[in-house]
Amino acid sequence: MKNPIFLAIDTTDMAKAQSLAHACAPHIGGLKLGLEFFCAHGPAGIQAFAGHGLPIFLDLKLHDIPNTVAKAITALAPLAPALLTIHASGGPAMIAAARKAAPPQTNIIAVTMLTSLDETDMVAIGIPETPATIVPRLAALARASGANGIVCSPHEAAAVRAVWPEGQLIIPGVRPEGADTADQKRVMTPAQALAAGATILVIGRPITAAADPAAAAASIAASL
């Protein structure tokens, strides 16, 4: 099995980002570059990581009308990310437009429900459902609309995997045993998430905030 760990590099500091990528490259399977980094460095910043030889997960969580999302993805196409996120709640037309606009080598991944949210948060925004009902419903929508996979918490992974065996399940909210959960509310250990059906484990602060990031990444990889 290929290494499922994608290192989440959430910083605006290019030197720090490059140092983390270089140190951890032997122990990870890919790099996740998100909105914070992209807003600071743009497309050129993404291209700067090509030399590490790792697939890039561009986590921008696009969410707009179908035409706008399609044009944004067309503009991003030269970066050729391995994965690119949109929000499943953008609806079937937006998801389909994203898939049509993306190059074949870019997998469109639909974010179902942010792992920083729980049932109380959903009630507050007017969606009185549990993650157990919201996530599979949005996963089914994403699948029917042409997405290649979804982002969900590890707690919903098994239910989604049961109905979408071939889909890519990108799992954030992964924390080694005893680690600080920070702003994540629905978490599991890496081994538990993988057993639940994860394709990719997105791990950031347990590695990037460690005294020795390379050692932390190696330890997590060994636990799998």
Determine if residue 80 is left, alpha or beta; phi over 0 gives left, psi from -120 to 50 gives alpha, anything else beta: left
CA proximity to 138, closest of 63, 36, 29? 63
The answer to whether 162 touches 156, Cβ cutoff 8 Å, is no
Given a contact cutoff of 8 angstroms between Cβ atoms, the answer to whether 61 and 84 are in contact is no
Beta bridge partners of 31: 7, 56
Instruction: Please identify which of the residues 2, 16, 32, 61 carries the catalytic annotation.
Output: 61
Q: What is the rounded distance in angstroms from the CA atom of residue 46 to the CA atom of residue 40?
A: 11
Residue 61 among the catalytic residues: yes
- Which residues have a catalytic role annotated? 61
